[in-house]
Structure 1
Amino acid sequence: MKIFNDPIHGQIELHPLLVKIIDTPQFQRLRHLKQLGSKFLVYPGATHTRFEHSIGVAYLAGCLLKSLRDNQPELNITKQDALCVQIAGLCHDLGHGPFSHLFDGMFIPEVRPNDKWEHEDASVKMFHYMRSKNGLDKVMKEYDLNLDDDIPFTEELIKGNRTSRLLKLKIFFFLQRPPNKSFLYEIVANKLNGIDVDKWDYLARDCHYLGIPNSFDHQRLLKSARVCEVDGEKQICFRDKVADNIHGMFHTRYTLHRQALQHKIGFIIDVKIKDALVLADRKLVPGCKISDAIHDMSEYTKLTDHIYDQILLDSNPELVEAQDILNDIINRQLPKFVGEARLNEDLLEEKLLEQWQQMVDKYNTFYNQDLEAEDFDIHVLDMGFGEVGNEPIDNVHFYSKSNLNTAFKIEKYQKKKRKPEEMEKMEEELEEMEKEETGKMEEEVEEMEKEETGKMEEELEEMEKEETGKMEEEVEEMKKEETDKMEEEVKEMEKRETEEMKKMEKEEKEKIEEEEMEKMEEEVEEMEKEEMWKMEEEVEEMEEMEKEEMEKIEEEEMKEM
């Protein structure tokens, strides 16, 4: 046995085979599937996962079986029976997809409308895949499980195959356990009256993490449970004195759904996430769709709540629209909740869908809008205290202290007597609320119309002010642009003129220099000529003087001779 420390049930012990299952990748995947899907975006504490819930269900299944076996050894509950029921409790949620019921209740029906797929079927497929991938069959044989009988029995328990019995004909189609053990099918997923260990754990766990008061004590029911014969079959019954506690269970379930699981903002977020998943279905993974994974357990094992971040951080440009939706959720830019009403009518959804277009057309005419019926989502929620019938306790059988083996139903006069004062008070308040709701809605509509009219007038005035201010800003901007443009042109002209002046000055300077050079050259030439002439004259004079000198010398020489 291995001990787990659970925040709800305290120190709990689990069979070694269950621990082997827990240590597989397929079960560890449940750590990344939040129990309440996207509700953590509304309730900050709702971050618990299906991992700890599944362990809790397996533990409570073992506790209930031990109580029945200790109190009624004649039931002949074998260790194989107990182990199969606990395995079913542990594995009943293996088939859940990202964001839990959003995936199988909203996403899959939209992208695969012809696929009659439920997460219970996926749980059985994942159970098969987990066994084959991790060699669990060998371990199961070591603990004396008969694979031919006990595996199909476990799968029946996971799927809650109570519906496989024809209730009216009283004929069993359970292949793996005889009719005298039909009560085993009521422990994990009770399709008869909804009282099962799955509900016991999620009521306690969800209320704990959401911060919602829990008026239900599952330990009281667990210890008073007893198997009796009802219409020829064995059913789990409860001591008559715990009827109030059963009412408390269904009351807690109603409160949980009303305040959290069906929260209006939570529903809006679910719709937006579903829209993002639909847009990303064909684009996130090249060559395949997200929804294809429901038929491939290898791929389904990789599919968790992390898909939100996968879509958000992917660089594929085709995912931009889906990423915009998810970013809107992060930034709390959500569609507005218009209103709600508690109505008591048959075929309510069909009537609303027929009349909604007329209501939208009337609104458009009155407010001069251009809305379509498709711009709104209508969510019809059928809320009640039980899952079967108008009064859930109608399907519960009890026994008395004086006669432990005779089952009976609580009669109407006994029900009323046994209902807690809080329940009666709440029902009266609900009836009063239903009566007041219609008048309240009319007042709200009138108030909304007044507010809308005043709002439209304010918006028009604001728009006019904005337009006037915008025009003034545009005129000032244009003036500024023109002034800037003119200043730039003047600067450009001044620049061009400066350049022209510099060019002219340069040319004039070059011209003057050229003329000066020519003049200097002429003067040099003139001077050279004059010098030459002067030199020539001097040479001639010198030659003349030399000639005279020579003549003089010659004369003297002649004289001397």
Structure 2
Amino acid sequence: MARLCTGVKSFKDPVHGYVDLCARLTPIVDSWVMQRLRGIKQTAFAHMVYHGMEHSRFNHSLGAAHLAGEVLNFISANTRLYFKSVGGGEFANTLLNSSEVFQLAALVHDVGHLPFSHASEVGIMEAKLIYRIPDFEKLPFRHEAYTYSLLRLVGRLAEEAGIEPVFTKSVSDDLRLILQGSGSKTMALDYGSECAANVLHQLIAGGLDVDRMDYLIRDSLYAGVRYGIFDVDRLVRVLLASPLLLEKGNRGAEVSRKACQVMVIDKGVSIVEAFLLARFYMFSEVYLHRVVEAYNSIYGRLFSILARDGLLSIEKNSGEIDIPTPQSIAEEKQWALEEWRSLDDLAVMQLIRRIYLGKTKASQEAKTLTSMLIERRHPRLYKVIEDKKLWGLYISYLYEGYAPEWAKPFLDELLELQNRHPLLMVRPLRVDVISLDRLGVYHRATGEITTFSSTGEGGGQELRRLQKLAELSLYRVVVFARQGEEEIAQKAINILLDLQKEGTRSERA
């Protein structure tokens, strides 16, 4: 059985006042795996618009780990109180015994980010889809694959620091259960451990999680806006979790579908609503600001152009910057770990500046894009089409390679147009839609638990209202191009509008 968090290491923090971590996490905080995140901006190129947004993934990771400890303390106390007669005390103990591994999971949840965070993921997608660079097929679209590839290394560092596993036989497998959930295919020691790990997964990646709680407030502070401000201290105090409840079915005792689930006490529904609205407005007003996305798009396209030209390469292929694959990192190949350790915003910006100053040979398109970033000249031509179905067609083709047969000619033409005209950028954007299907409301007066599948009134209505807020979104396809390239931009817009019309016709058919 793992030990409780004994001893605290505190870090002064502009958001939470102090960030308090279990003391045995200190060696992981000091490790290169975490320190690398100091060199990666939390919000990519948002600082080009909101000049205060220079903060890093390291700041956010410490904040998320702090909130993980706060949430665990309150959720355990509430679970012990409200589920006392059905094993709440024992379940609360299991949750508290996971203090170290849960804070560790929150601490390292972003260690797989590439330079400039999600903006490089756009570059990988375009390198694959627009320029069809074979080596880049080895790279994932999302940073989580890199995070998972580092868990064995992180787990070993943690065990050397005295941290013990709770749910499995190793800390690295505990981390997989918490971060990946059922997708990890990792077996817990018993049902109770599986139940607790499932709750922790929801608290770190379930929509109402410590990741979003921290970055909304932190990004608001550094942006100088109030869109993402909500009462996080109140929110962590109104959460609880249902233990491994059993109910009688046709085949005897069965696990209740309300078990192993994060819940909000009925008095806390309003603060959850405030959290969901804060998330929506931060995306609509800050993260998806048209100039922010213009610079993110310039960088994403530059990334793919540098890959096309061989300046960015995969697996020691002698580019100016070599990017290791998650598999090589998972295998802990020394050269891969060394390359990853030095792969941050500074490394990429040094290459961009060398191109800008003419010290590194590059194509004319790369030179133009680098000058747009360095000289802060974003595309002035901007067009946005708000259409969820159009967005869905484009996004599924980009990231899943799927589209109805009638849509493929339009989408292929759109990609080919960008291939021939690298300064034309067509991007799908949306608010970070989340699902609260695993959220329940606990009613103190009756002890009743209502979930999204409930058909009753009262709590059921509250949950439906919360779900509507969780799904509140904007679905945009945006077109960027430089001044003087209106004709090419209009051609891309016409393709999108034709795709939109054909989609309407196909629905009616």
TM over 0.5: yes
Aligned amino acid, residue 237 of structure 2: K
Aligned amino acid, residue 328 of structure 1: M
Instruction: List gaps (5 residues or longer) in structure 2.
Output: 1-7, 81-88, 128-132, 246-255, 329-335, 395-402, 415-419, 477-485, 491-509
- Distance (whole Å) between structure 2 residues aligned to residue 183 and residue 93 of structure 1: 22
- Contact kept, 8 Å, 1:57 with 1:90, in 2: the verdict is yes
- Aligned pair count reads 406
Aligned amino acid, residue 304 of structure 2: V
Q: Name whichever structure is richer in strand by fraction.
A: 2
- Displacement of 1:129: 3.6
User: What is the aligned-residue RMSD (CA, Å)?
Assistant: 4.1
Check 1:154–1:355 CA distance in 2 against 1; reply closer, same or farther (3 A cut): closer
Check 1:310–1:419 CA distance in 2 against 1; reply closer, same or farther (3 A cut): same
Higher RCO (C-alpha 8 Å, min separation 6):
2
User: Is 2:249 the counterpart of 1:250?
Assistant: no
Aligned amino acid, residue 383 of structure 2: G
- Displacement of 1:226: 1.2
User: Is 2:434 the counterpart of 1:387?
Assistant: yes
Query: After superposition, what is the alpha-carbon deviation per residue over 1:139-179, rounded to whole angstroms, capped at 9, x for unaligned?
Result: 236x6879833321113323x32445xxxxxxxx5413533
Query: After superposition, what is the alpha-carbon deviation per residue over 1:478-507, rounded to whole angstroms, capped at 9, x for unaligned?
Result: xxxxxxxxxxxxxxxxxxxxxxxxxxxxxx
Partner of 1:7: 14
Partner of 1:137: 159
Partner of 2:324: 293
Partner of 2:304: 278
Aligned amino acid, residue 340 of structure 2: Y
Aligned amino acid, residue 247 of structure 1: E
What pairs with 1:25-424 in structure 2 (closer than 5 Å)?
25-71=32-78, 72=80, 73-75=89-91, 76-77=93-94, 80-107=97-124, 110=127, 111=133, 112-115=135-138, 117=140, 118-129=142-153, 136-140=158-162, 148-158=169-179, 160-163=180-183, 173-181=185-193, 182-187=195-200, 193-213=206-226, 214-228=228-242, 229=245, 230-231=256-257, 233-281=259-307, 282-283=310-311, 287-289=317-319, 290=321, 292-294=323-325, 295=328, 296-314=336-354, 316-319=359-362, 321=364, 322-345=366-389, 348-349=393-394, 376-383=424-431, 386-388=433-435, 392=436, 395-404=438-447, 406-409=449-452, 414=458
Query: After superposition, what is the alpha-carbon deviation per residue over 1:27-67, rounded to whole angstroms, capped at 9, x for unaligned?
Result: 11111111101111121111111111111111111111112
Query: After superposition, what is the alpha-carbon deviation per residue over 1:212-243, rounded to whole angstroms, capped at 9, x for unaligned?
Result: 32353222221111112551631111112322
- Distance (whole Å) between structure 2 residues aligned to residue 115 and residue 237 of structure 1: 39
The worse-fitting range, judged by mean Cα deviation, of 252-261 and 275-284 is 275-284
* TM-score under structure 1 length normalisation: 0.62
Q: Name whichever structure is richer in helix by fraction.
A: 1
- Distance (whole Å) between structure 1 residues aligned to residue 160 and residue 280 of structure 2: 43
What SS is found at the alignment partner of 1:47? coil
- Distance (whole Å) between structure 2 residues aligned to residue 257 and residue 190 of structure 1: 21
Larger radius of gyration: 1
Query: After superposition, what is the alpha-carbon deviation per residue over 1:360-417, rounded to whole angstroms, capped at 9, x for unaligned?
Result: xxxxxxxxxxxx8886433233447x323xxx4x542111112447344476965897
Aligned amino acid, residue 281 of structure 2: T
Instruction: List gaps (5 residues or longer) in structure 1.
Output: 165-172, 360-371, 438-447, 453-561
- Distance (whole Å) between structure 1 residues aligned to residue 423 and residue 440 of structure 2: 48
- Contact kept, 8 Å, 1:98 with 1:303, in 2: the verdict is yes
Query: After superposition, what is the alpha-carbon deviation per residue over 1:245-292, rounded to whole angstroms, capped at 9, x for unaligned?
Result: 222222211111111212222222122212333343433688524353
- Displacement of 1:78: 5.9
What SS is found at the alignment partner of 1:8? coil
* TM-score under structure 2 length normalisation: 0.68
What pairs with 1:379-528 in structure 2 (closer than 5 Å)?
379-383=427-431, 386-388=433-435, 392=436, 395-404=438-447, 406-409=449-452, 414=458
